[in-house]
Amino acid sequence: MNDFSAVKESQAAYTPPDAPPSLPGLLLRAEPVTGKCYVLTFSSKHNLTLADMTAKEIVPVVRTWTSIYTAHLSPSSPLAKLAAPTHLPPSNPHTDVSKPTEKYRWMQIFENKGAAMGCSNPHPHGQIWTTTTLPEEPALELEQLKKYYREQGGGHMLIDYAKMERERKERVVFENETFLVLCPWWATWPFETMIVPVKQLRSLVDLTGPEQEHLAEAISDITRRYDNLFETSFPYSMGIHQAPLDATDEEVECSTLHLHFYPPLLRSATVRKFLVGYEMMAEPQRDITPEQAAERLRNCGGELYRKKLGGKTLEPQDEKFTDL
């Protein structure tokens, strides 16, 4: 459990101080949110990031994500009927994952890697936030996925997009039987990537054992390429989007499991992109094209650079990031 949770299961009830037709009641809107926040370490070793771990070592992380997601699914969700029984470890000083006491709408699984992304704990870890409301970003995504599904006679936008990218190849960084790693056409960050499936997968629950391994392989590959790009422990924010925990049949069917990686580095290990000025006030601008970014990342495959340093042990969290 997160020691400083942004949301809690039990908290004081919120009552709006004003109601329409008063101006504060008309213009200032707020709603209560409850939830649970978890912290998930990727390895017992303090110096291992996802980039240092093999796909086989990342599989347990994927399975733990799946177990926690499954444990919080609404019983009325179509996914709950298909989900395998979840056997979460009992609560103890080191593990605090239990069945939720409330019905939650959304689960956000994410990782902030590196001080540049606000990570204060050097032990590589991710977080899981569950909330009673659907946050803005996934809500906007879901609306567009539903719109495409209706207008294209049951088509899935991200699956169709993956098919197009798989055929063109120019923005694809890595692929296996189940997933593509690509630099999206609409990317904002210089080396922004997505992991998207090549067939419709609504959530982690839909993954078979081999498909969990394929996801772990994709995560291992892109994080290693990131570190190799500038030979540094590459900072990023990564998050998983999938079907909401409590969802209608349509919302579940329209959702597609995918991962976003938002890294800030631009030209080197110490030079980052800033979203300021025109980009903040008008719209983001590309510093390099997604095709250029994909080509550079494709050229960064192979063994992790840290393993080529002649026996020298380098702790990933010891690599420093400075703004220039």
Query: Please, what is the Cα angle at 294 between 288 and 300, to 5 degrees?
Result: 115
Contact 217, 55 (CB under 8 A): yes
CA distance 122 to 99: 29
Query: Please, what is the Cα angle at 161 between 155 and 162, to 5 degrees?
Result: 110
The first and second tokens of residue 78, run together, are 């179509």
Question: Helix 209-230 to helix 55-71 angle, to the nearest 10 degrees?
Answer: 120
CA distance 178 to 185: 20
Residue 293 φ then ψ, to 5°: -65, -45
Residue 237 φ then ψ, to 5°: -115, 130
> How many residues are recorded in the chain?
324
CA distance 323 to 266: 11
Task: Say whether 156 is catalytic.
Answer: no
Residue 131 φ then ψ, to 5°: -140, 155
The first and second tokens of residue 28, run together, are 């200032």
- Asked, as a colleague might, if the bond just before 21 is cis with ω within 30 of 0, I would say yes
Give burial (CB, 10 Å; 0-12/13-18/19+) of 233. Answer: buried
Residue of 125, 156, 241, 258 marked catalytic: 125
CA distance 227 to 223: 6
Alpha-carbon distance values, 106 to 34, 86, 247 (Å): 11, 18, 9
CA distance 320 to 270: 8
Which residues are known to be catalytic? 125
